[in-house]
């Protein structure tokens, strides 16, 4: 579903990604971890072309992402992305937040977009909040709205970039629960997170990044049970 082949990327003269290669099969949940600044956000942003790459290839569902002829808005609409800071539109109601991209990108009529939004809002347990504005919801609730908004586009895969790291501790599980449910339903997911409980529960593979390199890419059992490289070991000992 997602192929990342020998990808290198520079911000100016700074090489942020060096020869990164990994694949995510349909239905796989791949957790990406590693120290701050190791290139995790950059890597997953390259998957839906929010960041361009200078070397290598990225193919999503058979579509070459780094091809100038690729219709990027269409690609992005099929690959949902959820960020650390929910990035809801503060001046729009929850209903309008959910309907906007469906109407603008998919061309769905307003009533259909709102009905789809409401259904997904119900799924994340927030139907009663449809008329509110983002500022009236807690961080955990806003993040669940952001997930519902991404799902409303019928994505073929979902990318998460530290979706719980800006949340108060008591709100983390309400967001992780939704993500676990999605994983169990077979959604293809790439998740940057340090929530190793989540990784243990649903990940197929765990990637460890350091200084722009993918230094570990292992099955979950292998990642947690066997000796990792010294750098990964040191990192894990700090967060576990």
Q: Which residues bind ligand ADP (CB under 6 A)?
A: 11, 14, 16, 34, 36-42
Nearest distance in Å: CB 35, Mg ion: 10
Question: Closest CB to ligand ADP among 37 and 219?
Answer: 37
Helix ranges (DSSP H) in 48-109: 72-78, 94-104
For ligand ADP, the closer of residues 28 and 210 by Cβ is: 210
- Beta carbon nearer to ligand ADP, 40 or 228: 40
Q: How far is the CB of 136 from Mg ion (least distance, A)?
A: 28
187 contact choice in Mg ion, ligand ADP, none (CB below 5 to 8 Å, kind-dependent)? none
d(CA 125, CA 216): 36
Closer Cβ to Mg ion, 41 or 164, answer by number: 41
- Give the phi and the psi of residue 134 in degrees, each rounded to 5: -50, -40
Tell me which residues touch Mg ion (CB under 5 A).
41
38 binds, among Mg ion, ligand ADP, none (CB under 5 to 8 A by kind): ligand ADP
Residue spans of beta strands (DSSP E) within 61-168: 63-64, 79-82, 157-161
Residue 228's CB: how many other CB atoms inside 10 A?
19
Residue 118's φ and ψ, nearest 5 degrees, are -65, -40
- Asked if 164 and 143 touch (Cβ cutoff 8 Å), the reply is yes
At its nearest, how many Å lie between ligand ADP and the CB of residue 143? 18
Q: Are 188 and 26 in contact (CB under 8 A)?
A: yes
In whole angstroms, how close is the CB of 17 to ligand ADP at the nearest point? 8
């Amino acid at each position: 579903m997602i192929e990342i082949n020998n990808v290198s990327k520079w911000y100016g003269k700074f090489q942020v990604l060096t020869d990164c290669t990994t694949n995510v099969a349909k239905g796989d949940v791949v957790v990406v971890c590693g120290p701050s600044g190791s290139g995790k956000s950059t890597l997953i942003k390259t998957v839906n072309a929010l960041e361009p790459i200078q070397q290598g290839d990225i193919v999503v569902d058979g579509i070459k992402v780094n091809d100038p002829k690729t219709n990027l808005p269409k690609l992005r609409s099929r690959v949902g992305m959820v960020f650390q800071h929910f990035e809801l539109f503060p001046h729009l109601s929850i209903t309008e937040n959910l309907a906007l991209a469906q109407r603008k990108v998919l061309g769905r009529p307003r009533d259909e977009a709102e009905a789809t939004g409401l259904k997904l809002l119900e799924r994340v347990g927030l139907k009663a909040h449809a008329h509110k504005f983002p500022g009236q919801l807690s961080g955990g609730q806003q993040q669940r709205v952001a997930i519902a908004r991404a799902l409303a586009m019928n994505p073929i895969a979902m990318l998460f970039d530290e979706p719980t790291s800006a949340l108060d501790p008591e709100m983390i599980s309400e967001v992780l629960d939704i993500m676990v449910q999605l994983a169990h339903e077979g959604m293809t997911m790439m998740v940057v997170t340090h929530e190793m409980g989540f990784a243990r529960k649903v990940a197929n593979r765990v990637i460890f990044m350091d200084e722009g390199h993918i230094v570990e890419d292992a099955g979950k059992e292998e990642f947690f049970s066997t000796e990792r490289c010294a750098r990964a070991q040191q990192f894990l000992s700090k967060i576990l």
